[in-house]
Structure 1
């Protein structure tokens, strides 16, 4: 009898059992809360304000006897309540247009739809074959060049969700060059998160963490720039090693099914081999649109609502060009149908965002001034920092932030929630606040590469048609390398009293 091969559970299944665990915790861990305050800090000449918790104000919610109270989650709650079976709906409709979950869900679906239109024109496919024809013998340069620029994007302006769109374009290209879908995810999303984690100026991570920790914003840049260079080099070397192995032996790929899908899709296309004026206009629209997005993010701090609208505009313009120039025999109806099909491809990733948010809702939410199990976990874990030697305290901060990132994936949200607690405790432990910020940014950014609660990761994997279980099997070893490297830099920072 043939032994049945063990198959990695679907992402939805994994998150469901995490929700079950979160539900069980509510029966055993009492709820706690903090008082909050507004803090103001200077960020590159602009005054920013964040609401942060006050560490010494933590208190448990109590029962009638004055004892810490637990409030086990019910199976179902009517009238908009948060019961166990409500986690999906409540997660999907939580938040606002500026972030998780509803804003990110809309962002992912609009990006998918916009690129559905762009890909329907076949202009990108024509461009891919034109690039392949002109870069024969120099294909290997694509990996280090793309990885470098995406890492720089993550470091400079906190690039993350935007990688989804680039993955849709670049994954078919790297597969056509003989690599695989995993390589495409590495040079886009993974590169951005390495840059995000090691940044010296990321406005959504290190800048906020420094601001709320009373550390001069953008200080310590030389150390972080050197760290970014090392991490980026390691990422490039690992990606090139894997990509070359796949090119020599396609069976070594972790994403064989995805690769076959993209190759089959490419083979089934009716391409005339000519890069027409219409094709060039679509590509030019995409290029100018990306410049517009980068300008908006850097100059005016555009975020999810603006970027989603920009991608929609790019997709709509490409569709109109496709109709006018009859690219791939496009009609007006094809614009609508391809938008729907593109959004449908990223629907699973959008659903994961809601499910992941449901975990936090079951734990009572992530608001510091409202009773929740998450606040209690935060307080108890934070209290361990001041009972350890300096190096262990710094390492624990890295571990702690990595764990919290499973529940609070937003870099800015996590900074506002954890740094007001960790920063003063690091003083007691003899660790500089700059080291505490370093532990935060590395723990936050690097785990975005692996946690299934990351909307940007799941969106990119959706674009690559790679399920999270397959991704986990591939990325686990690289994640250990990154974590080991992060510990080395934390040790160095402690040794030189980084401040």
Structure 2
């Protein structure tokens, strides 16, 4: 299913040019300009940083001090995009490699075969797929810390659910929301909980009981939200947020589900896919694999799939390029979003923003301090979308701050964890999320309108659980 002709800029408003929603690049560039203006208005300052026992550079609490101003010059605004691309190069090329490998997967027609077989077997029971797959992706986020790694599966879920009578929003939601809930309410995420607890000098993955409860509640609410919408679309397709655009997308699909079945070659391709997922899980959890290893694994997967499907080597290469082409915009968004952080850091105001937020939290009454920490982490995530990066930036301040105001360090970690994850599938500055929407062909504005009620529910649940943790002395 090709998405190359589907923009994420708001095609649905073509008939009314005056009301078109700005392109995501326009929005991001505007934020970059605002960040540059902030370097003239915000007092510059820095925290000292030191290397911890694990080799991470962390902020040293109590070391904030004013520094010489370094306001962003005119050309810095434009140069920041190149710098952002450079600093995010690992993610950008990872997206291309994984997208290209899944381009080979699509070219084997295994998706068509799987859709045909599943659509026949699940006739009348299609909605069962939603909780099953959301649980799968949620566990991947909760236990392995997977986020970017799950994006390619949107290429499978979107055509699958569309052929079963749902829409592209449902397919993308299964992957994005499922993974996000797991990542947000994680009980074993090594990249957020693990890093934050390490910095806070807490036993690794301690306090798992409450985290399991939070994960279960947030996942249950999310599954209900997606299934409620999916059932409405199943009964009346015109109720779909993506009705018009999905009609265009379906016209590009040159198969009907009942015309295809899984062949022996398809089954071999699926075996390679399953083996890749198992290897990915083992590599991430046991050997600390990250972007280079995962990208290499998916590249090997694509090559093996092409060979097993008996595709000519030139066709494998062309399919790889086509897979990359579908992700060009999403990959570039990652670098442009990173430019915002480049401006704030080069302008010496990033730490000032952090210091001001931390100071405000410290001045709150004791009963509201944990809630204040949660709010701060929620706001910071719009600036620093990296979970491990936000942990390294804020926990050295928030952990000792909690000691001073009577908030347990475990609660401080929970406030970080929930504040870090909820907005990851809402804010346009979240690169991997925007890549996922681009892959699904969903305009950000349509997604934002659809998911906003669930995001608000998640924020409320986060506030409730953080406050509860503070009241019970969570440790």
The normalised TM-score by structure 1 is 0.89
1:149 matches 2:136 = yes
Distance, in Å, in 1 between the alignment partners of 2:178 and 2:376 is 23
Q: Cα gap change, 1:391/1:197 in structure 2, threshold over 3 Å: closer, same or farther?
A: farther
Specify whether residues 90 and 238 from structure 1 end up closer, same or farther in structure 2 by C-alpha distance, changes over 3 A only: same
Q: 1:290, CA displacement in angstroms?
A: 1.3
Residue 328 of structure 2 is aligned to residue 347 of structure 1: yes
Match of residue 134 from structure 1: 121
Are 1:58 and 2:79 matched, yes or no? no
Gaps of 5+ in 2: 1-14
In structure 2, C-alpha distance between the alignment counterparts of 1:336 and 1:273, rounded to whole Å: 25
The separation in 1 between residues aligned to 2:322 and 2:114, in whole angstroms, is: 22
Partners in 2 of 1:310 and 1:171 — Cα distance? 23
What is the CA-CA distance between 1:331 and the residue it aligns to?
3.0
Q: Is the aligned partner of 1:38 residue 2:44? A: no
Name the Cα RMSD after superposition: 1.8
Q: How has the CA–CA distance of structure 1 residues 390 and 191 changed in structure 2, closer, same or farther, with 3 Å as cutoff?
A: farther
Deviates more, 1:48-57 or 1:229-238: 48-57
C-alpha contact 2:44 2:349 (8 A) present in aligned 1: yes
Distance 2:308 2:117 in 1: 20
SS in 2 for 1:162: helix
Shift in Å, 1:261: 4.1
Residue ranges of structure 1 left out of the alignment (5+ in a row) = 41-47, 63-69, 77-82, 95-100, 325-329, 366-370
- Aligned partner of 2:198 in structure 1 is 211
Superimposed CA distance per residue, residues 213-233 of structure 1 (whole angstroms, 9 cap, x where no aligned partner): 122221111111111111111
Deviations 1:311-358 (A, max 9, x none): 111111111222x2xxxxx43222111111110111101111110111
Query: What is the rounded CA distance, in whole Å, between the counterparts of 1:132 and 1:425 in structure 2?
Result: 54
**What's the counterpart of residue 285 of structure 1?**
272
Alignment match, 2:207: 220
Number of equivalent positions: 461
Match of 1:357 in 2: 338
Cα contact 1:181–1:258 (8 A) shared by 2? no
Tell me which residue corresponds to 1:15.
28
* Partner Cα distance (1:257, 1:128) in 2: 22
Q: Distance in 1 between matches of 2:63 and 2:322?
A: 51
CA 1:32/1:298 → structure 2, altered by over 3 Å: closer, same or farther?
A: same
Q: Quote the residue 1:485 is aligned against.
A: 461
Question: What is the aligned counterpart of 2:104 among 117, 124, 130?
Answer: 117
Is 1:424 matched up with 2:400?
A: yes
3-state SS, counterpart of residue 34 of structure 2: helix
1:117–1:269 Cα change, 3 Å: farther
1:380 to 331, 350, 356: 356
Secondary structure at the aligned position of 2:148 is classed as coil
Deviation, 1:269, is: 7.5
Contact 1:349 1:459 in 2 (8 A): yes
Residue in structure 2 matching 1:86, options 57, 79, 90: 79
Question: Whose helix proportion is higher, 1 or 2?
Answer: 2
